[in-house]
C-alpha cells in the first residue's frame, strides 16, 4: 500500500511527482469528500424521516423525486431562501461564528476518516487524537450559539449541551484508549491493519472488555452528537429548540448539517475501531489490487466501510425513535456514575488481557486450545 492518496493516484496514472500535482490531488480530494459528506448528511435527514415513518406505520416523504429521495434538496433550498434574523441584543460576532465553529469542527475530521486504504486524505499518525480534539470545537460552537442568542432558553440549552459534550468525551476517549492499547498505535491505518475482514477478527469480538467498550463508545457518541435519547439541549418540548432557537435560514442549516455529519463521523470512527473498518472479508481487496484495475480494490473497501457505517447509523436512527428522552440529571449521573467507571474498568481489563493472553483474541485462544488438545505440535 502506498503512503498517501496523491502518491496512489500518481502511480495509477503514471504521472511524475511534483508539489503542484500533490496539492491539486489533495484539494480535489478534500472538495469531493466535503461534498459527499454534505450529501450524506442531507440523505440522512431523508433516511431518518423514512425510517421513523416505517416504524410509526406511515409513509414519510414520497413527493419530491422518486420515493421522495430529493426531499433533502427541497429542504436545503427552503433554508437558503429564509430570512436571516438576528435578535436585537444578540452578540453579533459570536452569533455569526458559532455555526461556523460547529461546521468546521466536524468537516475537519473528515480528513482522517479511513474510508479506504489509499483514498483516505491523510494517514495521520495521531489520527484518533485528531478526531477527538477537533470535534471538541462543536461543544464550543454550541455554547457560544446558546450564549450569543441572548435568550434564557438558548443559554440554558447551550450550557446543557456543552456540559453534556465535555462530560461524555471522557468515557468515549477511554473506550478508544482500550482499542489503542490493543493495536499499539493511534493511527487509523494501524488499527485497521490489526483487524481482519471476518467478524471474528474484529476488535469488538476480541475480548469481552472491548465488547463492553464498544457499547460504552456507542452510548457516548450518541450523547456527543446530541442525539436522542440525549437530545435535551435541542428538545422541542423542553427548551423550545434550545441553543438554536434564534437561528434561522442557513445558520440553522449549518447546525443541523453539523449534527448529521457528526453522527456519520462518529459512526465511521466506531466502525473503524470496533468493526474492522475498510477490511473486506476473504482478502478480496488484496486479490483485486493485484489485477490491472487497482481502483476496484478501493471501491470494495469503500463498500465495506460504508456498509458498516450505515448499519451503525441505522441503529442510531432506530434508537432515536424508540427510547424516551433523558432528564439532565439522569444524563449526568449516567455519564459520571456509570459509564466512566465502566470505561476505566474496561481499560484496565484490556491491559490485563493483553499481558495475560499475549494479545490473542478469544477465537484465537479457542483455536490454540483446540489444536493443543487434539494432538497439537
Partner 1 sequence: MLVVAIEKERTFEKVAIVSFLTILFILSALLMLVSCLALLLTKNIMHACTFLLAALLGVAGLYLTLHADTLAVTQVLVYVGGVVILMLFAVVLTGGQDQESITKEKFPHLAPLFGSKSTFLKAFLVSMIFFVAAASLLRLGEKEIVHVVAVNYAPTIQSLGQLLMTDYLFAFELVSVLLLGALIGAALIARPMKK
Binding site for partner 1 (CB under 8 A): 19, 23, 91, 93-94, 97, 124-126, 129-130, 132-134, 136-137, 139-140, 143-144, 147, 155, 159, 162-163, 166, 169, 185-186
Buried b (16+ CB within 10 A) or exposed e, 222-250: bbbbbbbbbbbbbbeebbebbbbbbbeee
Nearer to partner 1, 47 or 137 (CB): 137
Q: How many CA atoms lie within 13 A of 203 on its CB side?
A: 34
Nearer to partner 1, 111 or 280 (CB): 111
How far apart are alpha carbons 297 and 291 in whole angstroms?
A: 9
Distance in Å, CB of 135 to partner 1, minimum: 9
How far apart are alpha carbons 162 and 166 in whole angstroms?
A: 6
Nearer to partner 1, 3 or 54 (CB): 3
How far apart are alpha carbons 233 and 253 in whole angstroms?
A: 17
How far apart are alpha carbons 274 and 268 in whole angstroms?
A: 10
Distance in Å, CB of 52 to partner 1, minimum: 32
- Under 8 Å CB-to-CB from 311, ≥6 apart: which residues? 271
State the cell numbers at 271. 466502525
> Exposed (0-12), middle (13-18) or buried (19+): which is 328, by Cβ within 10 Å?
middle
Distance in Å, CB of 262 to partner 1, minimum: 15
How far apart are alpha carbons 217 and 270 in whole angstroms?
A: 8
Nearer to partner 1, 45 or 151 (CB): 151
Nearer to partner 1, 255 or 306 (CB): 255
Distance in Å, CB of 118 to partner 1, minimum: 19
DSSP code at position 318: H
Nearer to partner 1, 47 or 225 (CB): 225
Distance in Å, CB of 154 to partner 1, minimum: 12
How far apart are alpha carbons 175 and 187 in whole angstroms?
A: 16
How far apart are alpha carbons 375 and 25 in whole angstroms?
A: 56
What value does the CA radius of gyration of the chain take, rounded to a whole number of Å? 22
Distance in Å, CB of 162 to partner 1, minimum: 6
Nearer to partner 1, 43 or 328 (CB): 328
Distance in Å, CB of 355 to partner 1, minimum: 15
Q: How many CA atoms lie within 13 A of 108 on its CB side?
A: 17
Distance in Å, CB of 169 to partner 1, minimum: 7
How far apart are alpha carbons 231 and 321 in whole angstroms?
A: 12
12: left (phi over 0), alpha (psi -120 to 50) or beta: alpha
Distance in Å, CB of 19 to partner 1, minimum: 7
Cis, peptide link before residue 229, omega less than 30° from 0: yes
Distance in Å, CB of 113 to partner 1, minimum: 16
Nearer to partner 1, 125 or 359 (CB): 125
> Exposed (0-12), middle (13-18) or buried (19+): which is 51, by Cβ within 10 Å?
middle
Nearer to partner 1, 186 or 221 (CB): 186
Nearer to partner 1, 132 or 179 (CB): 132
Amino acid at each position: 500500500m502506498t503512503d498517501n492518496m496523491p502518491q496512489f493516484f500518481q502511480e495509477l496514472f503514471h504521472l511524475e511527482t511534483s508539489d503542484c500535482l500533490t496539492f491539486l490531488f489533495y484539494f480535489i480530494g478534500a472538495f469531493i469528500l466535503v461534498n459527499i459528506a454534505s450529501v450524506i448528511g442531507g440523505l440522512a435527514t431523508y433516511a431518518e424521516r423514512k425510517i421513523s415513518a416505517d416504524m410509526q406505520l406511515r409513509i414519510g416523504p414520497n413527493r419530491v423525486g422518486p420515493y421522495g429521495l430529493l426531499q433533502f434538496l427541497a429542504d436545503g433550498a427552503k433554508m437558503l431562501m429564509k430570512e436571516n434574523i438576528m435578535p436585537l441584543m444578540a452578540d453579533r460576532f459570536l452569533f455569526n461564528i458559532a455555526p461556523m465553529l460547529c461546521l468546521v469542527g466536524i468537516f475537519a475530521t473528515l480528513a482522517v476518516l479511513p474510508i479506504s486504504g489509499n483514498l483516505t486524505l491523510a494517514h495521520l499518525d495521531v489520527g484518533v487524537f485528531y478526531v477527538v480534539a477537533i470535534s471538541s470545537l462543536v461543544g464550543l460552537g454550541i455554547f457560544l450559539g446558546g450564549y450569543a442568542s441572548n435568550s434564557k432558553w438558548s443559554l440554558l440549552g447551550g450550557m446543557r449541551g456543552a456540559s453534556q459534550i465535555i462530560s461524555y468525551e471522557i468515557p468515549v476517549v477511554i473506550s478508544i484508549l482500550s482499542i489503542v492499547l490493543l493495536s499499539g498505535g493511534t493511527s487509523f491505518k494501524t488499527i485497521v491493519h490489526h483487524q481482519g475482514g471476518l467478524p471474528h477478527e474484529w476488535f469488538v469480538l476480541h475480548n469481552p472488555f472491548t465488547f463492553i467498550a464498544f457499547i460504552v463508545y456507542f452510548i457516548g457518541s450518541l450523547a456527543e452528537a446530541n442525539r436522542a435519547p440525549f437530545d435535551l439541549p435541542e428538545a422541542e418540548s423542553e427548551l423550545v429548540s434550545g441553543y438554536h432557537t434564534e437561528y434561522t435560514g442557513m445558520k440553522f442549516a449549518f447546525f443541523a448539517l453539523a449534527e448529521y455529519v457528526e453522527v456519520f463521523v462518529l459512526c465511521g470512527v466506531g466502525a473503524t475501531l470496533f468493526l474492522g473498518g475498510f477490511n473486506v472479508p476473504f482478502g478480496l481487496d488484496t486479490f483485486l489490487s493485484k489485477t490491472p484495475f487497482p481502483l476496484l480494490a478501493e471501491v470494495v473497501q469503500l463498500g465495506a466501510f460504508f456498509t458498516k457505517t450505515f448499519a451503525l447509523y441505522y441503529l442510531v436512527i432506530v434508537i432515536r425513535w424508540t427510547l424516551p428522552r433523558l432528564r439532565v440529571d439522569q444524563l449526568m449521573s449516567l455519564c459520571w456514575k456509570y459509564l466512566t467507571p465502566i470505561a476505566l474498568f474496561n481499560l484496565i481489563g484490556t491491559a490485563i488481557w493483553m499481558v495475560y493472553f499475549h494479545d490473542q483474541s478469544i477465537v484465537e485462544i479457542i483455536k490454540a486450545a483446540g489444536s493443543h488438545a487434539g494432538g497439537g505440535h
